[in-house]
Each structure stands twice: as structure tokens, then as C-alpha cells.
A and B are shown apart, each in its own frame.
Chain A
Amino acid sequence: MLATAGATMDQPPLEALGVGPTVAPSFSTVVADHGDAIYRYAWHLTRNQTDADDIYQETLLKAYRAYGKLDGDANHRAWLYRIASNTFISDRRKRNRENPLTEAMEQTVPAPAVEQADGLDARDLLREVEHSVTELPPKQRAALILRKYHEASYAEIAVSLNTSEVAARANVHEALKKLRTQFADRLDWIRP
């Protein structure tokens, strides 16, 4: 005989009553749970409030429109990160296509002007690191930020960036290697 868990002849399964863990979270609950993290992500990606606001708003709008079609068991956090990542990456691509020459100028964190051993203090260095992160290729930047600041697993990063786990890991490692080659020497100077 076929029996559904929890269901008997005169008792409908719990799902039929709309109770139990089968009720998907409402959209507002998903936003309440993950909205702040998504804004933080947008901020880390852009380091600029106007751009972060734009990515955040576009992510919310896309998510709101698509939410009804989403599987209730979905990993909502990774799903939101994915929308935000796509928004960010396609926005960068669009900017570069429209005006490739401004690619270097669009960067929001100003590149440090002076590069002299004596004058480089810790604050200059942090600005420089911030700047270098915003100069990483978008996918590497996104992967590094998710791993470093959002405690994302590589599986989540893979979903968020529409790639494989191996590629997600490679993107994070590649970003760190680049940062190290850029800073290894100068980091040494300000060592306490």
C-alpha cells in the first residue's frame, strides 16, 4: 500500500493544511533575512553609495518579480547573491562596452597619487587595497568578496556567480594572488 508520510485515511497530510515546514517564506521575510547582506555585498563590490544603491534596488526589483516562480526550497541567500552578481557584472560590461576608455576612470576609489616608502601610512595602504579590489576583474572581485566578507561556501559562490565550484575557488585564489603581487613589497614597509 502506498502511504504518504503523516497522512492517514481520515487525516490529510500537513501540507494540505498549509502548515508545517512546507510553507515557503514570504518575499518580505526573505528580504528581512538577507536584504542587509545584499546591500553590504553591493557596497563591497562598488565601494560607492550611489552604485551600491542602484545594484541593491535593481536586485530587489528583479527578485520581487521572479519570486513567485521560485522553488520554495531554494537557497534564497544564494539566489539573491546571484541576482546581485549578475546585475553588477552586466552593469560593468555595459559600461565598458559603451566607453572602454573610461574603464580606468569609472573606478570609484581614487588611486593613491603618491608612492613613496616614507609617506605611505596604514591609511594610504588600506585605500590602495580597496582600490585594487575594485580593479580586479568583476568575477574575481565578486568571488573574493563573497568568500572573505560574506562567509559564503564555494557551492554558494558557484551558484551566485553561475559557475562551477572549482572555478569559484580559482577566482578567489586568483584575486588574492594578484593582490599579493601588487602589495607584497609595500606592505612590508609599514609593518609595525
Chain B
Amino acid sequence: MTTHNEPRQTHIDQPAPGASIIEEARQPGVDPCDVACDAMPGYLVGDLSTPEKLWLHEHTAGCNYCHNVFDSYERVGNALDDTATATPRPTLSVATALGLREARYGFLDTPVGPVLVATSDLGLCEVGYLAHRERDDVLGEIETRGLFPIENQASVRPATDQLGEYFAGKRHTFDLPIDFGAITPFTRDVLGATSRVPFGDVLTYGEIARRIGKPGASRAVGNALGRNPLPVVVPCHRIVRADGSMGWYTGGTGIKRRLLALEGIHFDQTRQLALGANVH
């Protein structure tokens, strides 16, 4: 059996949104019982205003036929309420359904503002400053790496603990598995060399370029560090310009200055590295 379920243009049959059924029932030549019965399905799904509901109750109380029809509609409504039983859970997680890996994320409050921390099955995959950036901007970036972010504070506990210790001045190195995702060998080398710069030291972009065997590639080194997904843990704040000025930083130079100050490195009034700093 085929059913034609697309209703024809029966505007007259349907109470127009906003038009009162009370007024409609008062129109000359209109049978109030028709209006009442037509309004009953809408009554079940919250279409009627309070005065309209009152009118309907009043009308059905005084009309045997409408009363019976209304009664059966109400029972259909009750049955529908009762069949709204508990829904089972999906068999697949969203990440699995999409063929993606999960990145579980949580938050940490730091002296440089809130930070979003995410970890995949392989390791830490994002440290995102939220001081000047929306959470969803950071999440969207994680998604571009083929990961599906899910909020789960407990999963990032090791990372947030260690970061908390760093900001409290109690930790100089990090001991966390890392997931850089798909990055170029060059970027991997840059991040690797940067990771080996110890707490309290600063290096120039040019020196990193030299250390990875690409002398002269200091600009490319700067670009690669600009895309560092794990600031603080991969300490790109320890890389400065050859003239002793700070250079650009992913969370803004204000954060870079604070991180370096935390490590005992200070910039003077002219924003140059203060004399005596351990620059190579």
C-alpha cells in the first residue's frame, strides 16, 4: 500500500499560527465543534495558548460528541508520553563512527590565563592558550589534524599536573608522551631541537637552524615554531631573535615575557634581552 503523506495545501483546514481558535469558532457559519476537533491534535503537542485550552475544555465539557473525541485524543497523548522510554546508547563512539582518533581535552588555569590541554591515544597533542582565543577555535584546529576532541578533564590530569608544577616553579622538564600528528620532518627536527633547550636558557632561531643542519633557515625555524602545538612543553618561548629581542610568540609576546621571567630571564626597557642572560 502506498500512502500519499504530503498534505495538500489545506491552509483552511489548519488553524493558522497565531490565529485564535476562539475567534474562529465565533465566525458566522462555522460549527464550533469542527473548530474544537481540529484543534485537538494541536492541543496534544502544545500548539494552543492558555485561553484556547480553556475554551477547548469549556466546549468539550458542554458537548458530548466533542468530549468523547477529546478523551480519545488525550489517551493517545498519554500513550505517546508513555512510549518515550529510555533511549539506548549509540553502539559506536562519535570518533569511531567518523573514523577519527579521539583527543580528550581539559582546562588548566595558569598565570598566563586559561589553557586548553588535549591528549590523544599517543600522547599530548595540544596546549592552547585561551587568553586571546576562543575555545572552539582551538578545538577546530585539533579537528583539522584528524582528531575528534571530547571534553574529559581526568584524561589530561598528568599533563595539567606537570604544567601546574612548571608554573609554580617546581618543575623544569616535562615527562609526557607526545603526539605531534602528521608534521614535516623539518618541523619535527625544529621541535625536537627546541625541546632540548634547557630551562633558563635562550637560543636564537639561527642557532636552532644550525643545530638541525639547516644553517640560514632561521625564518623557516620561526614559522615552524609558530605552529608549535605544545607551547611550554616544547619550550619555543626560549627561542629569541639574534638581536636579543623576543620575537613573535604563539600566545603573544606578553606570555613569552612572563614565561622567560619565570625562568629567570628578563627583558630590559628596550625589550632587549638583559645583559648576562644565557644566550647562544
Contact = CB atoms under 8 A, between A and B. Distances in A.
A117 interface: no
A147 B47 CA distance: 10
B73 to A, nearest CB: 6
Contacts of A112: none
Interface stretch (B6-14, B218-226, B237-245, B271-279): B6-14
Nearest to A138: B5
Interface stretch (A4-12, A49-57, A80-88): A49-57
A54 to B, nearest CB: 10
Interface residues of A, number: 60
B88 interface: yes
A183 B5 contact: no
Contacts of A176: 40-41, 44-45, 73, 76
A165 B14 CA distance: 11
A125 B79 contact: yes
Interface in B70-95: 72-73, 75-76, 79-80, 82-84, 87-92, 94
Interface string B113-152: 0000000000000000000111111011011000011110
Interface in A14-36: 17-19, 23-29, 31-32, 35
B143 A19 contact: no
Contacts of A53: 90-92
B5 A171 contact: yes
Nearest to B73: A180
A31 B139 CA distance: 12
Nearest to A63: B98
